[in-house]
Amino acid sequence: MQTNRDLDIKEEIKKYVTFLKEYDGETLRLMEVCGSHTAAISKSGIKKIISPKIKLISGPGCPVCVSPSAFVDRLIELGKKGAHIVSFGDMMRIPGSTSTLNEEKGKGLLASYVYSPLDIIEMAKKEPEREFIFAAVGFETTIPTYTLLLDRIIEENITNIKILTALKTMPEAIDFLCMNKCDIDGFIAPGHVSVITGSDAFNEVSSKYKMPMAVTGFSPYELVLGIYALTKTCINKEKYISMGKSLVGNYYKSVVETNGNQKAQRQIDKYFRKGDAIWRGMGNIPNSGLYLKDEYLKYDAGSQNLNDDKKINKACRCSDVLMGKISSKECPLFKTLCNPLTPQGACMVSSEGSCYQAFKNND
pLDDT score recorded for residue 216: 96
| Rg of the Cα atoms in the chain | 21
Q: Which amino acid is at 270?
A: K
β-pair partners for 85: 111, 133
Asked if 9 contacts 221 with a C-beta cutoff of 8 angstroms, the reply is yes
Q: Is 259 exposed, middle or buried (0-12, 13-18, 19+ CB in 10 A)?
A: exposed
Write the pLDDT tens digit of every residue in 207-236: 999 999 999 999 999 999 999 999 999 999
pLDDT score recorded for residue 157: 96
Instruction: Please state the rounded mean pLDDT for residues 28-36.
Output: 94
pLDDT surpasses 60 at 1 = no
Give the mean pLDDT of the chain.
Answer: 92
Distances (CA, A) of 82 to 46, 91, 130, 253, 311: 48, 19, 8, 47, 27
pLDDT surpasses 70 at 5 = no
Domains and CATH numbers, the chain: 69-169+262-299 (3.40.50.11740)
pLDDT surpasses 80 at 136 = yes
pLDDT bin (cut points 50, 70, 90) of residue 138 is: very high
Write the pLDDT tens digit of every residue in 9-26: 678 888 999 999 999 999
pLDDT surpasses 70 at 146 = yes
From the list 189, 311, 173, 181, the residue with the least C-alpha distance to 246 is 189
Q: What is the pTM of this model?
A: 0.91
